[in-house]
Amino acid sequence: MAEAERDPETVSRFVENFAAQLVEAGMPRMPARVFAALLASDAGALTSAELGERLKISPAAVSGAVRYLSQVHLLSREREPGSRRERYRVHSDQWYEALTNREAIIKRWEDALRDGVSGLGADTPAGRRLTETLAFFEFIEKDVEGMMERWRAHRRKLFGTD
């Protein structure tokens, strides 16, 4: 069914319901709505004006949401050929990219935690708490690496892509 043939109310209901789930998981409300609207569009890309119209939000709200989503690697910006207008796009691998980029953040947290353990002393209550937190992130990091490899193989099998 083509996007033009879809019931706009059904699409809107999906966008708002999925956005509510993202908000419950910790994403700010407006970025969650923009992300869900992009996911629900066949092209996976919309301009600021299209997002504003679909979500009935101001250009400033779109701008703030897009800035947040860009920072967490859940969308990319594209220029329309021959135009100054930007389109915002989600990709089929946005979750993979977002999680992969989180690995760099986790590594920085690990470095900061190591410094904290060293500075506070490993035998202090705070040092032990930081040591356990560090061990948790190291554990997660190893698991995420393996999980991403398994996902790439699974995705290849399902969709024939990397």
Structure tokens at 99: 């999680």
What is the per-residue pLDDT for 2?
A: 59
Q: Which fold has domain 3-89?
A: Arc Repressor Mutant, subunit A (1.10.10)
3-state secondary structure of 26: coil
Q: In which residue ranges of the chain is pLDDT below 50?
A: none
Q: Which helix (H) or strand (E) holds 78?
A: strand 76-79
**Structure confidence at residue 130 (pLDDT):** 94
From first CA to last CA, the distance across the chain in angstroms is 27
Provide the 3-class DSSP secondary structure of residue 75: coil
Residue 67 has a pLDDT of 96
* DSSP code at position 2: -
pTM as predicted: 0.73
What confidence score (pLDDT) does residue 106 get?
A: 83
